[in-house]
Chain A
Amino acid sequence: MGFLESLSEAAGLIAGFDRDLAEIIVLSLTVNLTAVACACLIGLPLGGAVALYRFPGRQFVTIAIDAFMGLPPVVVGLVVFILLSRSGPLGVLGLLFTPTAMIIAQTILVTPIVAALTRQIIADLWLEYGEHLRSLKAGTMQSVMTLLWDARFSLITVALAGFGRASAEVGAVMIVGGNIDHATRLMTTSIALETSKGNLALALGLGIVLLSITMSINALAYFMRARAGHMAAFA
């Protein structure tokens, strides 16, 4: 079985608009994008705040956030699994093996990436804006908001980096989602499953679909940014 065969299998999957495949794609995008949105909601203000606020332990927080960019997905999955399992502290919520559990795990994975990159971008922009904002007697919170807005085009790239992390990982969602058919099966977990079953062609086909989706989303973001940033000067 060769690569071409897989390609044609992938093409067949897409052309035939396989219902199961569509379901997997929709669930994958829902989980990944929701996790990235949650991570941005937490990570953008967090990164901005760490960049500008002066507080004891700030260096430690910075190092921790940077280090957490490399959190192993399986470890995050395991910790979330323990927290959400029946006997765990959050077991009563009954979230284990649901899409929500996968969103929680991926949010934990993506937030440090968003926060760390945001912190660096905002700190750099502060070097340029600092005197002006201090001249205007802007409060730290006002300064963070100003800088986040003015860095918006760079921050799109940050969100994309977060999406890359979410859409590519398999370890965490496999553990907390359980890869249950029609419930918690994502692109990556399907690929892992099909590979282990020996369906290499199908696995590769799914891989190609996943790659195309990632490419499309990045292309979309690129053109959005190019259009908005016609205002070249804004970038």
Chain B
Amino acid sequence: MRSPAPILPLAFSRVTYIVGGERLFGEASFEIGPRQRTVILGPNGAGKSLLLRLAHGLIAPSNGQVLWRGGGDADTTQAMVFQRPVLLRRSVLANIEHALKLKGIGRIDRRSRARGALAMAGLTEMAERPARVLSGGEQQRLALARAWALEPQILFLDEPTASLDPSAIRSVETMIDGFHAAGVKIVMTTHDMGQAARVGDEIIFLHRGQLVEQTPADVFFKTPQSKEAKAFIAGDLLW
């Protein structure tokens, strides 16, 4: 179902992001491979969102390069879901169709793909409702459905559950599992350690704009390598 030419792995090569002379991220070099779910973990202000935006191309690095090493077309095979979902002032269905139209999908395909995505998100009955009257959890599921319809190879999620209640968090995590099962690479930020343990196969731990460690999740939570990660797991404020 997914586009054949792979775009992963994704490599950061000596990447920094500097605003007004202040270095907010980096310098960082690392690689993110396919399949495994990567969770970017760290306290507020650690640079998690910057890392995602650099990777997705929403902001350009001040130095260094963000490289897609797989050879596939990286422009059309990524999707991103934001902490506060950006929903258009249109119906639920039209929100998905709009995204597909921008991808150059024809009208008939658009409708069937959008319907399929709504079914995947359990939003079929809300298709004709204005998107912005949905509850917070439904809005985030719609954002995920919209990403699903795009059939990405990689999905970036920026704190997708930060403002949701527990049951909404669960349904969002279930949808993320669905992406993973379909072979979509997951890269997600969170400051919630429980969620990082549930969703992550691999942890990238950031602190003050620096990549402190990149380790498999089980290793990270049992035997963190860095003192910052140890303090974070112990709940000691890192600032």
Interaction A to B: yes
List chain A positions with a Cβ less than 8 A from chain B. Answer: 128-129, 131-138, 142, 146, 149-150, 153, 231-235
In the assembled complex, the Cα of A128 lies from the Cα of B53 at a distance in Å of 16
**Most B CB within 10 A of own CB, among A134, A136, A233, A235:** A136
In the assembled complex, the Cα of A135 lies from the Cα of B74 at a distance in Å of 12
Is there an interface contact between B86 and A132, defined as CB atoms closer than 8 Å? yes
Q: Does B108 contact A (CB under 8 A)?
A: no
Q: Does B111 contact A (CB under 8 A)?
A: no
| Contact count A vs B, C-beta below 8 Å | 49
Closest residue on chain B to residue A230 by CB atoms: B130
Complex contacts, B2 vs chain A, CB 8 Å: none
Pick from A131, A138, A232: contact of B58, CB under 8 Å? A131
Given contacts A137-B75, A232-B133, A233-B132, contact A146 B88 (CB under 8 A): yes
* Interface SS of B by simple majority: mixed
Contact with A along B58-77 (1 / 0, CB 8 A): 10000000000000000110
A146 to chain B, nearest CB (A): 7
List chain B positions with a Cβ less than 8 A from chain A. Answer: 53, 56, 58, 75-76, 78-80, 82, 86, 88-90, 98-99, 102-103, 130-133, 150
B132 to chain A, nearest CB (A): 3
Complex contacts, B103 vs chain A, CB 8 Å: 136
* Interface SS of A by simple majority: helix
Given contacts A146-B98, A231-B130, contact A131 B89 (CB under 8 A): no
In the assembled complex, the Cα of A136 lies from the Cα of B75 at a distance in Å of 9
Complex contacts, A133 vs chain B, CB 8 Å: 102
Is there an interface contact between A128 and B86, defined as CB atoms closer than 8 Å? yes
A25 to chain B, nearest CB (A): 36
Complex contacts, B78 vs chain A, CB 8 Å: 135
Given contacts A131-B82, A142-B102, contact A150 B88 (CB under 8 A): yes
Given contacts A233-B130, A234-B132, contact A137 B102 (CB under 8 A): yes
B104 to chain A, nearest CB (A): 10
Is there an interface contact between B102 and A132, defined as CB atoms closer than 8 Å? no
Given contacts A129-B86, A150-B90, contact A231 B133 (CB under 8 A): yes
Pick from B76, B86, B98, B131: contact of A233, CB under 8 Å? B131
Complex contacts, B86 vs chain A, CB 8 Å: 128-129, 131-132
Is there an interface contact between B89 and A135, defined as CB atoms closer than 8 Å? no
Q: 6 closest A-B pairs (Cβ-Cβ)?
A: A233-B132, A132-B86, A231-B130, A234-B89, A150-B89, A135-B80
Complex contacts, B56 vs chain A, CB 8 Å: 135
In the assembled complex, the Cα of A232 lies from the Cα of B130 at a distance in Å of 9
Complex contacts, A153 vs chain B, CB 8 Å: 89
B66 to chain A, nearest CB (A): 15
Complex contacts, B79 vs chain A, CB 8 Å: 135
In the assembled complex, the Cα of A235 lies from the Cα of B130 at a distance in Å of 11
Is there an interface contact between A137 and B133, defined as CB atoms closer than 8 Å? no
In the assembled complex, the Cα of A136 lies from the Cα of B81 at a distance in Å of 11
5 further A-B contacts with Cβ under 8 Å, apart from A131-B82, A135-B58, A232-B130, are A128-B86, A131-B58, A135-B80, A233-B89, A235-B89
Closest residue on chain B to residue A233 by CB atoms: B132
B59 to chain A, nearest CB (A): 10
In the assembled complex, the Cα of A95 lies from the Cα of B90 at a distance in Å of 44
B18 to chain A, nearest CB (A): 20
Closest residue on chain A to residue B100 by CB atoms: A136
Is there an interface contact between A234 and B75, defined as CB atoms closer than 8 Å? no
Given contacts A135-B80, A136-B99, A136-B102, contact A129 B133 (CB under 8 A): no
In the assembled complex, the Cα of A218 lies from the Cα of B70 at a distance in Å of 58
Given contacts A137-B102, A150-B88, contact A132 B82 (CB under 8 A): yes
A214 to chain B, nearest CB (A): 28
Given contacts A232-B133, A233-B133, contact A138 B89 (CB under 8 A): no
| 21 contacting pairs across A/B (C-beta < 8 A) | A128-B86, A129-B86, A131-B58, A131-B82, A132-B86, A134-B58, A135-B58, A135-B79, A136-B150, A137-B75, A142-B102, A146-B88, A149-B90, A150-B89, A231-B130, A232-B133, A233-B89, A233-B131, A233-B132, A234-B89, A234-B130
In the assembled complex, the Cα of A150 lies from the Cα of B88 at a distance in Å of 7
